[in-house]
Amino acid sequence: MTNQTLFETGPALTPRATRRERFAAATLWLPVLIVSVTATLWYPRLPAMLPIQWDGTGVTSTAPTVVLIGITGTIALVAAVAGLIALAGAAADIRRGLVFAAGCAAGLSTGVWLVSAGLVLVTGTSEPSAGAWPLLGVLAGAYGLIPLALSPRRPVERELHSPTSMPLSASETGAWFTVVKVPVFLWLAGILALMAVAIAALSVVLGGAGAGSTVTVGFVAVLCLGFARLRVTVDRRGLRVVSGLLRVPLRRLPLDQIVSARAEHIRPTEWGGWGYRVLPGRSAIVVSGGPGIVVQRTNGTLFAVTVPEPELPAALLTALAAR
């Protein structure tokens, strides 16, 4: 098999987090600290309800103080935990984007809390005039630029393998399978499940408000659970990808739809991110950055799935499809 190796410009980094990346993740705990400290100090002086929306005439919407603390604090905490998850080796390719998104969410939630509670304390009224302060709360979402700036770009070495074949006689066949475990998705599923429970509890307090959010977060948790463990199989039936935990088939490509397969380094950013991705002319199941199988289909499109040591299954799939 002839291999063709391409190198991107810049030094390659290992999946292990660098000192700068660990520091970037650590900055995500600052919003948690701010919400925790201010909520503890301010709570005795705050009314039962806090303003959360304004228009030209004044306050248009309020929320219970306890609920606002719970929601903003939970978002900040989940963002900080997401920063810890980003330090995992499997998340190396999306680490920079993940801490940026987490920082934006944490900054926005903290800004909403500070503006809402701060205006009440400064003005001494439960329905203060907002002025431009809500805009400042929204701009606090730019906090994500701090961990983004601290995180280095990660140029990595990529190996591109030309299509391979495995000689099989007319009476021979072959089969291959592997189980891909992705702890990051399992952690995310657990965190989202806890969030769904918390939102459901708040929904009861608010008299039903937030039920839709509970369903949405719960659905995303199930999706993450579906990608936490994958079983990938290559045999006379073609290529199959099945959720190992939910036992749900995610993708099946019969041999008559396959031209060839090759082993290739898969980067989530080039395939639209993590999970089941669909782009013009290509689709993929990406659970990490690294080696994977890229299938050339008879309709001219590509399908990719990330698996360890993909050379053998790619060669077998090409041989079976060539019959």
pLDDT at 205 exceeding the cut of 60: no
Radius of gyration of the chain measured on its C-alpha atoms:
25
Query: CA 213 from chain center: how many Å?
Result: 18
Quick: pLDDT tens for 281-303.
Answer: 999 999 887 899 999 999 999 99
Residue 311 belongs to some domain of the structure? yes
pLDDT value for 306: 92
User: Quick check: 177 and 310 in contact, CB under 8 A?
Assistant: no
Percent helix, percent strand, percent coil in the chain, to nearest 5: 50, 25, 25
Mean pLDDT of 273-278: 87
pLDDT at 83 exceeding the cut of 70: yes
Residue 36 belongs to some domain of the structure? yes
Q: In what order do the strands lie in the sheet with 238-243?
A: 176-181, 229-235, 238-243, 249-253
pLDDT value for 259: 92
Q: Is 63 helix (H, G, I), strand (E, B) or coil?
A: strand
Quick: pLDDT tens for 24-63.
Answer: 999 999 999 999 999 999 999 999 888 877 776 777 778 8
pLDDT value for 257: 94
Q: Which of 318, 245, 320, 236 is nearest to 287 (CA)?
A: 245
pLDDT value for 2: 36
State whether 167 and 295 are in the same domain. Answer: yes
CATH code at position 252: 2.30.29
Mean pLDDT of 300-319: 91
Residue 277 belongs to some domain of the structure? yes
Q: Give me the domain span that covers residue 222.
A: 183-226
- One-letter amino acid of 87: L
pLDDT value for 158: 47
State whether 167 and 139 are in the same domain. Answer: no
pLDDT value for 164: 54
What is the CB neighbour count within 10 angstroms for residue 264?
Answer: 20
State whether 105 and 38 are in the same domain. Answer: yes
How many whole angstroms separate alpha carbon 27 and alpha carbon 84? 11
State whether 167 and 306 are in the same domain. Answer: yes
Mean pLDDT of 128-155: 82
Which residues neighbour 253 within 8 Å (Cβ) at sequence distance 6 or greater?
238, 239, 240, 295, 297, 303
State whether 221 and 264 are in the same domain. Answer: no
Token representation of residue 80? 């900080």
Mean pLDDT of 71-75: 88
Residue with tokens 């990719």: 304
Which runs of consecutive H residues, i.e. helices, occur in 43-91? Answer: 65-86
Residue 8 belongs to some domain of the structure? no
pLDDT value for 24: 92
Token representation of residue 3? 């291999």
pLDDT value for 256: 92
Residue 6 belongs to some domain of the structure? no
How many whole angstroms separate alpha carbon 108 and alpha carbon 134? 11
| Termini Cα distance of the chain | 20
State whether 170 and 301 are in the same domain. Answer: yes
Residue 322 banded pLDDT, cuts 50, 70, 90:
confident
Residue 120 belongs to some domain of the structure? yes
Quick: pLDDT tens for 100-124.
Answer: 888 988 998 898 899 888 888 888 8
DSSP 115-158: HHHHHHHHHSSSS---TTHHHHHHHGGGGGHHHHHHSPP---EE
State whether 244 and 313 are in the same domain. Answer: yes
Mean pLDDT of 195-207: 66
Q: Is 264 helix (H, G, I), strand (E, B) or coil?
A: strand
State whether 236 and 200 are in the same domain. Answer: no
Token representation of residue 198? 């918390």
**Percentage above 70 pLDDT, the chain:** 84
State whether 148 and 35 are in the same domain. Answer: yes
State whether 279 and 313 are in the same domain. Answer: yes
Residue 276 belongs to some domain of the structure? yes
Kindly report the pTM of this predicted structure: 0.58
Q: Is 75 helix (H, G, I), strand (E, B) or coil?
A: helix
State whether 167 and 289 are in the same domain. Answer: yes
Q: Greater confidence, 202 or 236?
A: 236
pLDDT value for 151: 87
State whether 168 and 301 are in the same domain. Answer: yes
pLDDT value for 90: 67
Lowest mean pLDDT among 2-6, 142-146, 278-282: 2-6
| C-alpha neighbours within 13 Å on the C-beta side of residue 198 | 19
Residue 4 belongs to some domain of the structure? no
pLDDT value for 155: 59
Average pLDDT value over all residues in the chain = 81
| Domains identified in the chain, total number | 3
